[in-house]
Amino acid sequence: MQKTSYPQIDTNVYVYAPYGNDVQEYLDKINQYNTRKEAPTSWKETVYYGDDFLKRMLSEKKGNVMIVAGNNRKKTEYIRAALNAGIHVLADKPMAITPEGFDLLKECFKTAHEQGIMLYDIMTERYEITTVLQREYSRIPELFGSLVSGTPDHPAIVKESVHHFSKQVSGRHLRRPAWFFDVEQEGEGIVDVTTHLVDLIQWECFPDQAIDYTREIEILDANRWSTPITSPQFELVTGQETFPDYLRKDVRDGILHVYSNGNILYRIRGIVAKVSVIWNFEAPEGGGDTHYSVMRGEKANLVIRQGAEQNYRPTLYIEPATDNIPDSFKAEVLSATSRLAATYPGISAVAEPNGSWRIAIPDRYNVGHEAHFSQVTEKYLDFLKTGVMPEWEVPGMLAKYYVTTQAFRIAHNKTTTK
């Protein structure tokens, strides 16, 4: 977020944290942003270190917005404390990682409403261009039709993401904190990365509509499973030769088992949806993180692929919903694309050999994941300026965390009773 400067945000930033590598790595990044040649920032960081960092922040109350990120174990408690002090909150996901955390989060939203302050989480994936266009094309009935209801065996919308613990960034291994591998601190995969996927399903299928999780969502199935991490692999990623004591609970026969994988099958307003997240230790040679998404319509399917064939870049395809391709399909694809090009100049549809169409997107729209954080921040700043957040946002956040935390409960019940 601080890679960018914002006229509405003071350059004086007050940081409250315990001693440790996490805060130092953060400060190192800020220094890089401040000293770069192109568009340098001018953040002035005042840091308080100590175990009583939360109490100190609340007593000093140097700002009117708390940005909270990092270890998720007590994040919901930090949010509640800030809101009770009348401080707005912009939170990195996830805001809750257990059913108990969800109950506390409900209390947080109630407090925010009563105090007239804003609690919002950072959903960067809403700004990824292929996802944006998937949503836009689905709103053109002449091409897409209506979203089908789907079945548990053939959901109407599917979102799957594959990630890797070990990554090369600028020729060096990405360093992760040891606690990242503790699901009690980071959160299991079923409540962490899936937050983005569940959010996108609501945002794409029911745009600008409030979801009532008490009546409109039914969890059909949920599963969790672990990724095995050896001691040498752990050292490669964290720099630590041995597993910390807090990870011993997850070590069996010398192997760390991280419950970073999960899937959720659920029904939302009669539509069957499925989300899956998988964490492997490392990608195959030449590979990277991947994303797959399909929205099934009566007339067309909108599919995002990010595999080797796409050079691991998200690519949107429009595919006919049936094998019998109607004569009008080409005209509808071109018409819809021309219509959207008025808002997204430069996009075009390219025919594929199998009868589908690939949407060619100019590079200027692929701004990268880091840029999406500033876009979320600017959206939140608009909310603060106007004092108004769209009415569907808070119900949507509650619905999202209800799905992930209830799935957590169901998946745990299944694995603990086996």
* CATH code where residue 308 lies: 3.30.360.10
For the chain, the domain total comes to 2
Tell whether 69 is covered by a domain: yes
Q: Give the whole-angstrom CA distance, residue 33 versus residue 296.
A: 42
Tell whether 116 is covered by a domain: yes
Same domain flag for 186 and 259: yes
Same domain flag for 313 and 260: yes
Same domain flag for 296 and 211: yes
Q: Which two tokens stand for residue 296?
A: 């099934």
Instruction: For tokens 């836009």, name the residue.
Output: 136
Tell whether 17 is covered by a domain: yes
Same domain flag for 362 and 377: no
Residue 252 has a pLDDT of: 95
**Residues in the chain where the model's pLDDT stays below 50:** 418
Residue 418 has a pLDDT of: 46
- Tell me the β-bridge partners of 14: 46
Same domain flag for 270 and 247: yes
Residue 171 has a pLDDT of: 56
- Tell me the β-bridge partners of 229: 256
Range of the domain at 377: 12-124+371-385
Tell whether 392 is covered by a domain: no
Same domain flag for 102 and 168: no
Whole-number Cα distances in Å, 185 to 92, 111, 262: 14, 25, 17
The DSSP bridge pattern shows strands 271-282 and 157-166 to be: parallel
Tell whether 276 is covered by a domain: yes
**Can you give the pTM of this predicted structure?**
0.95
Tell whether 309 is covered by a domain: yes
Three-state DSSP at 228 gives strand
Same domain flag for 111 and 136: no
Same domain flag for 155 and 119: no
Q: Give the whole-angstrom CA distance, residue 74 versus residue 82.
A: 13
> Which has the closest alpha carbon to 166: 226, 233, 257?
233
Same domain flag for 178 and 216: yes
Three-state DSSP at 404 gives helix
Residue 395 has a pLDDT of: 98
Same domain flag for 211 and 351: yes
Same domain flag for 363 and 376: no
Tell whether 412 is covered by a domain: no
Residue 136 has a pLDDT of: 98
Tell whether 6 is covered by a domain: no
Q: Give the whole-angstrom CA distance, residue 55 versus residue 70.
A: 18
Q: Give the whole-angstrom CA distance, residue 312 versus residue 314.
A: 7
